[in-house]
Amino acid sequence: MAIASLSSSLFYDRASAAMTSLTAQADTLNTQLSTGRKLSKASDDVVAYQRLRTIATDAADATASQANITTAQGVLTSADTALTSMTNLLQNASELVVQARTGTLNDTDRAAIASQLSSIADEIAALANGKDTRGQPLFAGSASGDAVTTNADGSHALASGATSTIPIGGGQSVQPSENAAAILGLAGGRNAIDVIAALATTLKAGGDTTDALGSALGDLSTVSTQVIDVQASLGARGARLDLETTRLTTVAADREAVRSGLEDTDYSQAAVQLQKTMTVLQATQASFTKLSALNLFDYLK
């Protein structure tokens, strides 16, 4: 009797364990199919869960990097637009200087040119003091105020020092602009704004302006070259940002593929596995029901 009792208990325990396991598998598969996720908690797959956390962190870092890249691109665009306008103004100033050197102008003509040059100097100063997409000075360099300030004697001081950089991920950063001194500065602490303004004053005063006009023309050519060089440098930085954006997009696609493989439910595979599990569960339940109904007389027949 004891042996029969032990065998009966073992039979029921094994059957119960098998059906419990199969039922749990079926529940898990049903959950995966309904949620679209293979993992609902860390214990489902510790290694995969940790990998998913790393992927989520990487994705957040990439999102922050792309936001910084977008900001840097906005600053570069603002700087490029301002520099293009400066180039046009410097060209206009050079044309006016050439016109003033013809020697056929009267005082009224020279006064008109002087007025235009004064306006150009003011416009260049205004462009240099422009703001970027963040509302910060475009060409202020390391200074916190304007890029161009007016001294007590009416001359202008240009901001210098490296413009703050913007991190773009992977330990990299980009400097989206330049300081005003690097753009408009001249040897001896002079600058294009003062050169143009001084020339306007000289023309208004009359007299011999030959030397002043010749010197100004050379200065304007120097500054124009500097502006073009800075613009080319900023263009190269913009191209670098475009490449980094492309890289981040490619990495994001690869990262999403890995995440999906770890986390997302393969509906076809899960459906087949669920059907298989349910078939085995039903067969196990049927066998258990049939065998548990047998008595000793049935075994002896």
SS (H, E, C) 227-260: HHHHHHHHHHHHHHHHHHHHHHHHHHHHHHHHHH
User: Other CB atoms closer than 10 Å to residue 187's CB: what's the count?
Assistant: 7
Read off the CATH number of the domain in which 145 is found. Answer: 1.20.1330.10
Q: How many domains does the chain have?
A: 2
- DSSP element (H, E) containing 84: helix 46-100
Q: What is the CA radius of gyration of the chain?
A: 39
Do 276 and 185 fall into the same domain? no
Would you state the pLDDT for residue 13? 65
Would you state the pLDDT for residue 300? 47
Whether residue 293 is contained in a domain is answered as yes
Do 160 and 273 fall into the same domain? no
Do 104 and 219 fall into the same domain? yes
Whether residue 14 is contained in a domain is answered as no
Whether residue 24 is contained in a domain is answered as no
Would you state the pLDDT for residue 260? 81
Would you state the pLDDT for residue 49? 84
Find out whether 86 and 183 touch, Cβ atoms under 8 Å.
Answer: yes
Do 193 and 291 fall into the same domain? no
257: phi then psi, degrees, rounded to nearest 5: -65, -40
Residues 6+ apart with CB under 8 A from 169: 61, 62, 64, 65, 68, 244, 248
44: phi then psi, degrees, rounded to nearest 5: -65, -40
Would you state the pLDDT for residue 125? 97
What is the DSSP track for 160-209?
A: -SPPPPEEEETTEEE-----HHHHHB-GGG-BHHHHHHHHHHHHHH-S--
Find out whether 128 and 192 touch, Cβ atoms under 8 Å.
Answer: no
Query: Which segments of the chain are extended strands (E)?
Result: 148-150, 156-158, 166-169, 172-174
Do 283 and 209 fall into the same domain? no
Profile the chain (301 residues) by mean pLDDT over runs of 10 residues. 55 66 63 64 79 92 96 96 98 95 84 96 97 91 89 95 90 94 96 96 82 92 97 97 95 91 68 66 66 52 50
Whether residue 35 is contained in a domain is answered as no
Which residue range forms the structural domain that includes residue 162?
Answer: 54-258
Q: Which residue has the tokens 């419990």?
A: 20
Do 167 and 287 fall into the same domain? no
Would you state the pLDDT for residue 172? 92
What are the Cα distances from residue 21, in Å, to 16, 86, 122, 238? 9, 77, 83, 59
Do 101 and 180 fall into the same domain? yes
- Following CA atoms 260, 264, 265, 266 in sequence, which dihedral angle do they give, to the nearest 10 degrees? -10
